């Protein structure tokens, strides 16, 4: 068989018509005689590459160049490609010999030459003894060889392989993988191979591209790509489960895997969409710390979106609070947490008590407010508040202090304990301060700490630095 060597360039290739999302500006150079693999998960766009090169899928943008020739205007029959379909696309009524001869006869080759070529190809692929059988009489491995033999018989300029080893048992897969490697070595035919199997990609390829959602994530020699993968897997604690598939992983491992896949390509910008959602508390806290360390070590520009206040506060250098599609406040986490500009911002950053108040005195460094129950508190307020202005006092449960009513010395709110919940690390209290208002307070659950009982008279102590007033949207 002859050994045509061609150069293939995919230049900004976009497709539509297959399974979404299609190819999105894929640009790859397949060199002369190279075995080039596109590796990716299902629906990543792998088969779209082959169908576009073969002429079976419309190209909406970009070009396919073979030795500098734009194939855009050529029909499939004139592109000189040999396409090995994933499931073979064999004809049940036709013999093995007939399959291999079909393309040659369509080219008008003389019968004697057809017979000689068919014999060579069947012998090369180990199919000589079953030349007169039909596909239903063959095992899966033989059917895969037949699909390959049919494609090779016409000596195409480009060989296209769509998951040629899929669904084979491990021994048959390994055997055919070795045969494919030998074929490529002997024929030196420019080959584009697509697969979801990393072992196939690493074993067969001169170079490979990793595809995800129709975009090329990384291109390189297998050893370089694998080395980077190994580093990322080790960094994220996935080295021991490198050969498992997602259904065999727990939720935390799947989240690490998604992160590893994104980091492996060394992106300029990392985008994180709720990376810690639905994890149990311990796994969430562990991965949150790992994310913080990763950002510290990689110093990669990162945009993170979450509904979880603890994640936002723990991970961010700065944050923006969104509400109804608008940015409400931007700043460093501690500043936004301690000085929210609205109730929406305060609620977004964790549990808070919201106490309706009225300004009764304006001072140089703040205001004095009065609750509906008649209690007065100083607030180091920022904003335009005059005497008589209405607002909401934001009281973070974890920033409040609870003391016995008789021992209180600081400004505060007197009341009685109506609920106590012990959560190990903390006690949660609910205090009735009158006028139908209940305030939640969180205190450390350390041994030796003061513990209050239901019915105890207490005082919620505050300071002007731990409370903040925000506008009351209902009374503006």
pLDDT digits 0-9 by tens, 30-61: 999 999 999 988 888 899 999 999 999 989 99
Q: Report the C-alpha gap between 400 and 326 in whole angstroms.
A: 31
User: Looking at residues 318-336, what average pLDDT do you find?
Assistant: 95
Where residue 349 falls among pLDDT bands split at 50, 70, 90?
very high
Where residue 285 falls among pLDDT bands split at 50, 70, 90?
very high
User: Looking at residues 181-202, what average pLDDT do you find?
Assistant: 89
User: Looking at residues 202-221, what average pLDDT do you find?
Assistant: 90
Residue 48 inside a domain? The answer is yes
Handedness of CA 175, 39, 263, 237 (dihedral sign): negative
Least confident among 224-238, 245-259, 270-284, 366-380: 224-238
Where residue 78 falls among pLDDT bands split at 50, 70, 90?
confident
CATH number at 361 reads 2.40.50.140
Phi/psi at 215 (nearest 5 deg)?
A: -125, 145
User: Looking at residues 375-404, what average pLDDT do you find?
Assistant: 87
- Do 142 and 37 lie in a common domain? yes
User: Looking at residues 380-405, what average pLDDT do you find?
Assistant: 86
Residue 323 inside a domain? The answer is no
Q: Report the C-alpha gap between 356 and 369 in whole angstroms.
A: 10
Residue 321 inside a domain? The answer is no
Q: Report the C-alpha gap between 266 and 275 in whole angstroms.
A: 18
Q: What is the 3-state secondary structure (H, E, C) of the chain?
A: CCCCCCCEEEEEEEECCCCCCCCCCEEEEECCCCEEEEECCCCCCHHHHHHHHHCCCCEEEEEEEECCEEHHHCCHHHCCEEEECCCCCCCCCCCHHHHHHHHHHHCCCCHHHHHHHHHHHHHHCCCHHHCCCCHHHCCHHHHHHHHHHHHHHCCCCEEEEECCCCCCCHHHHHHHHHHHHHHHHHHCCCEEEEECCHHHHHHHCCEEEEEECCEEEEEECHHHHHHHHHHHHHHCCCHHHCCCCHHHCCHHHHHHHHHHHHHHCCCCEEEEECCCCCCCHHHHHHHHHHHHHHHHHHCCEEEEECCCHHHHHHHCCCEEEEECCEEEEEECHHHHHHCCCCHHHHHHCCCCEEEEEEEEEEECCEEEEEECCCCEEEECCCCCCCCCCEEEEEECHHHCEEEEHHHCCCCEEEEEEEEEEECCCEEEEEEECCCCCEEEEEEECCCCCCCCCCCCEEEEECCCCCEEEEECHHHC
- Do 123 and 14 lie in a common domain? yes
Q: Specify the pLDDT at position 445.
A: 80
Residue 1 inside a domain? The answer is no
Residue 322 inside a domain? The answer is no
Number of CB atoms found within 10 A of residue 341's CB? 17
CATH number at 139 reads 3.40.50.300
What does the buried/exposed string (b/e) look like for 103-116 if buried means 16 or more CB atoms within 10 Å of the residue's CB? bbeeeebeeeebee
* Axis crossing angle, helix 140-153 with helix 170-187, rounded to the nearest 10: 10
Query: pLDDT at residue 408 above 70?
Result: no
Q: Number of structural domains, the chain?
A: 3
Tell me which residue has tokens 């500009």.
Answer: 341
Here the tokens at position 243 are: 């050969």
Q: Report the C-alpha gap between 362 and 166 in whole angstroms.
A: 76
Residue 356 inside a domain? The answer is yes
Query: What is the percentage of the chain residues whose pLDDT exceeds 90?
Result: 44
Q: Report the C-alpha gap between 395 and 432 in whole angstroms.
A: 14
Range of 245's domain?
226-315
- Do 135 and 171 lie in a common domain? yes
- β-pairing, 69-70 with 59-66? antiparallel
* C-alpha atoms less than 13 angstroms from C-alpha of 312 in its C-beta half-sphere: 22
Residue 343 inside a domain? The answer is no
Number of CB atoms found within 10 A of residue 73's CB? 8
| Better-scored residue on pLDDT, 302 or 185 | 302
- Do 17 and 125 lie in a common domain? yes
Q: Per-residue pLDDT tens for 82-140?
A: 889 877 678 888 899 989 888 888 888 888 888 888 888 898 888 988 888 888 998 88
- Do 234 and 310 lie in a common domain? yes
- Do 140 and 277 lie in a common domain? no
Here the tokens at position 89 are: 């696309």
Q: Specify the pLDDT at position 383.
A: 67
- Do 121 and 148 lie in a common domain? yes
Query: pLDDT at residue 183 above 60?
Result: yes
Query: pLDDT at residue 458 above 60?
Result: yes
Taking the mean position of all CA atoms in its chain, how far away is CA 190?
33
- Do 355 and 468 lie in a common domain? yes
Region at 181 (left for phi over 0; alpha for psi -120 to 50; beta for the rest)? alpha
- Do 285 and 373 lie in a common domain? no
Tell me which residue has tokens 């710390």.
Answer: 289
Domain boundary among 160, 193, 219: 219
- Do 48 and 103 lie in a common domain? yes
User: Looking at residues 319-327, what average pLDDT do you find?
Assistant: 94
Query: pLDDT at residue 261 above 90?
Result: no
- Do 13 and 66 lie in a common domain? yes
Contact yes or no for 314/292 (Cβ under 8 A): yes
User: Highest-confidence range of 16-20, 150-154, 211-215, 337-341, by mean pLDDT?
Assistant: 337-341
Q: Model's pTM, two decimal places?
A: 0.58
Cis? peptide before 34, omega within 30° of 0: no
Residue 336 inside a domain? The answer is no
Cβ neighbours for 117, distance < 8 A, ≥ 6 positions apart? 100, 104, 109, 153
- Rg of the Cα atoms in the chain: 34
Domain boundary among 315, 335, 364: 315
Q: Specify the pLDDT at position 228.
A: 77
Domain boundary among 173, 188, 219: 219
Q: Which of 77, 83, 151, 153 has the alpha carbon at shortest distance from 114?
A: 153
Q: Specify the pLDDT at position 428.
A: 94
- Do 178 and 121 lie in a common domain? yes
Q: Report the C-alpha gap between 424 and 430 in whole angstroms.
A: 17
Taking the mean position of all CA atoms in its chain, how far away is CA 428?
37
């Amino acid at each position: 068989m002859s050994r045509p060597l061609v150069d293939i360039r995919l230049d900004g290739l976009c497709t539509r018509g297959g399974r979404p999302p299609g190819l999105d500006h894929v640009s790859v150079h397949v060199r002369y005689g190279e075995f080039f693999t596109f590796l990716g998960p299902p629906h990543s766009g792998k088969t779209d590459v082959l169908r576009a090169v073969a002429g079976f899928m419309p190209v909406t943008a970009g070009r396919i160049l073979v030795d500098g020739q734009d194939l855009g205007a050529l029909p499939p029959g004139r592109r000189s490609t040999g396409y090995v379909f994933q499931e073979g696309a064999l004809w049940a009524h036709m013999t093995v010999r007939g399959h291999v001869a079909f393309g040659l006869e369509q080219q008008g080759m003389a019968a004697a030459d057809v017979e000689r070529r068919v014999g060579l190809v069947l012998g090369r692929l180990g199919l000589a003894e079953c030349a007169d059988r039909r596909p239903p009489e063959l095992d899966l491995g033989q059917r895969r060889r037949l699909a390959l033999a049919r494609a090779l018989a016409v000596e195409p300029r480009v060989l296209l392989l769509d998951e040629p080893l899929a669904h084979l048992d491990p021994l048959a897969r390994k055997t055919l993988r070795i045969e494919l490697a030998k074929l490529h070595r002997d024929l030196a035919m420019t080959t584009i191979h697509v697969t979801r199997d990393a072992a196939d990609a690493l074993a067969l390829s001169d170079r490979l591209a990793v595809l995800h959602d129709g975009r090329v994530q990384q291109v390189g020699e297998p050893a370089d790509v694998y080395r980077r993968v190994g580093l990322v897997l080790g960094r994220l604690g996935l080295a021991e489960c490198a050969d498992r598939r997602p259904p065999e992983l727990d939720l935390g491992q799947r989240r690490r895997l998604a992160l590893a896949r994104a980091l492996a390509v060394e992106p300029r910008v990392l985008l994180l969409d709720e990376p810690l959602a639905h994890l149990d508390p311990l796994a969430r806290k562990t991965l949150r710390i790992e994310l913080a360390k990763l950002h510290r070590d990689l110093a990669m520009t990162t945009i993170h979106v979450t509904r979880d206040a603890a994640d936002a506060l723990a991970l961010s250098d700065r944050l923006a609070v969104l509400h109804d599609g608008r940015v409400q406040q931007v700043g460093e986490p501690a500043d936004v947490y301690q000085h929210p500009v609205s109730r929406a911002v305060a609620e977004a950053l964790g549990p808070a008590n919201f106490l309706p108040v009225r300004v009764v005195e304006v001072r140089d460094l703040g205001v004095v407010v009065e609750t509906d129950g008649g209690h007065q508190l100083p607030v180091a307020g920022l904003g335009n508040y005059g005497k008589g202005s209405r607002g909401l006092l934001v009281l973070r449960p974890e920033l409040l202090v609870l003391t016995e009513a008789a021992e209180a010395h600081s400004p505060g709110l007197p009341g009685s304990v109506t609920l106590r919940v012990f959560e190990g690390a903390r006690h949660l209290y609910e205090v009735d301060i009158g006028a139908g208002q209940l305030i939640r307070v969180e205190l450390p659950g350390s041994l030796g700490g003061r513990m209050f009982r239901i019915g105890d008279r207490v005082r919620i102590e505050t300071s002007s630095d731990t409370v903040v007033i925000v506008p009351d949207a209902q009374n503006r």
